[in-house]
Amino acid sequence: MTDSVALDPVDLEILRLLQNDARMTYRDLSAAVGVAPSTCLDRVARLRRSGVILGQELRLDAAQLGRPLQALLSVQVRPHRRELVGPFVERIRALPESRALFHLAGPEDYLVHVAVTGTADLQRLVLDEFTSRKEVARVETRLIFQRWECGPLLPPG
């Protein structure tokens, strides 16, 4: 586990603001946190170097891209051994329907967020890409009706 980075109130405000709008200009960001633009630029660069800021993401609307149905697939892999898990993870990550993959502790080994064109496509995905694999012991499907963003993510306290 990595050590957390010491952040002061200005750093925390920068992180809060950038999580709400990563396209904010340094001029606007510096004005909002009350520091000079050069100081703000240095602080953001330090947050990137230290690994607190990992990058910027482009979020897309899956429905607008022809994938209106989203689901979470709970997957149990048996036997749960490294030589089977590695190829399984790489295959699932390569699927165009896969949005996120989580390795879990508990009765299920993986949780996969998928976006598909409809129920027939979801059935095809589960049968052809998951349950057809010999290491997959079980798949449970949960449809996603709605999703909300949470945050911003800040350190405890």
pLDDT tier at 2, thresholds 50, 70, 90: low
Number of domains in the chain: 2
Q: CB atoms < 10 A from the CB of 108, how many?
A: 16
- One domain, residues 44 and 97: no
pLDDT tier at 80, thresholds 50, 70, 90: confident
Helices (H) and strands (E) in the chain, counts: 5, 4
- One domain, residues 79 and 130: yes
- One domain, residues 22 and 70: no
Mind listing the pLDDT tens digit for each residue in 58-75?
889 999 999 999 999 999
Q: Rounded to whole angstroms, what are the CA distances from 1 to 4, 47, 111, 120, 130?
A: 9, 18, 22, 42, 31
- One domain, residues 38 and 67: no
Mind listing the pLDDT tens digit for each residue in 18-35?
998 999 999 999 999 999
Q: What is the CATH number of the domain that holds 71?
A: 3.30.70.920
Q: What is the CATH number of the domain that holds 31?
A: 1.10.10.10
pLDDT mean across residues, the chain: 94
Omega within 30 of 0 (cis) for the link into 152: yes
What are residue 88's phi and psi, to 5 degrees? -60, -50
- One domain, residues 14 and 74: no
Q: What is the pTM of this model?
A: 0.84
